[in-house]
Structure 1
Amino acid sequence: MDPWRYSTQGISLALRVTPRGGRDDIDGLETLADGRVVVKVRVRAIADGGEANRAVTELLARALGVPKADVRILSGATSRLKQIAVAGDPRKLGEALRELTAAKPAE
């Protein structure tokens, strides 16, 4: 099961973020203890003053080829687990996410 849902405006996806992760990257998929699948993301920024959230939205915008304004945090602004909305063509966004996470299977 994919950690993203499609809507008419774009997609929403579940993330697990690692701040101060050494690099800005999408590490693939991870299955949490409760069985949910999330996209693993790491950023160099620290989790202070919204820096890590800003880095996450910039990373996703760059990786998915959308403007930064089209990526917003729906929930989890102060948590490692976040729900993110990305505006755009849901089919293209889903394909891009599948490619970004395909080479990196769930752990």
Structure 2
Amino acid sequence: MSWYSVDGVQITLRLHIQPGAKKTECAGLYGEAMKIRLAAPPVDGKANQSLIVWLADFFKVPQRQVQIKSGETNRRKVVCISGSGVLPSTLNPN
């Protein structure tokens, strides 16, 4: 199983989030998920908002096209992105 899937114009990502990092970056595969380090703290939804902003910028879509489908209060998240022409495989630093 891959850490992402593409179905038409929708991309689904399986992510493992590490909030409170020194900088926001992709850190490679973590099991069946892509690990993302976030500079934002895990307080008051700041990490989730930071993740949405970062992914929207990477995938070149408006923030409204990035949705956390599951794991809002968990490190494991499923995120859906619609309407991006950027391939998820380019997110992998390896």
For normalisation by structure 2, the TM-score amounts to: 0.90
1:99 aligns with 2:94: no
Aligned residue in 1 for 2:68:
73
2:46 aligned residue (46, 51, 57): 51
> Is 1:30 aligned to 2:27, yes or no?
no
Structure with higher Rg: it is 1
Larger helix fraction of residues:
1
Give unmatched runs, 5+ long, in structure 1: 32-36
Deviations 1:76-96 (A, max 9, x none): 00000000000114xx33x2x
The Cα shift of 1:56 comes to 0.5
Matched residue type, 2:60: G
Please, which runs of 5 or more residues in structure 2 have no aligned partner?
none
Aligned length: 94
- Would you say 1:3 and 2:9 are equivalent positions? no
1:100 CA drift (Å): 2.0
Q: Show the counterpart of 2:13.
A: 13
Question: Cα RMSD over matched residues?
Answer: 1.4
TM-score under structure 1 normalisation?
0.80
> Identity of paired residues, percent?
28
Q: Which runs of 4+ in 1 moved over 4 A?
A: none
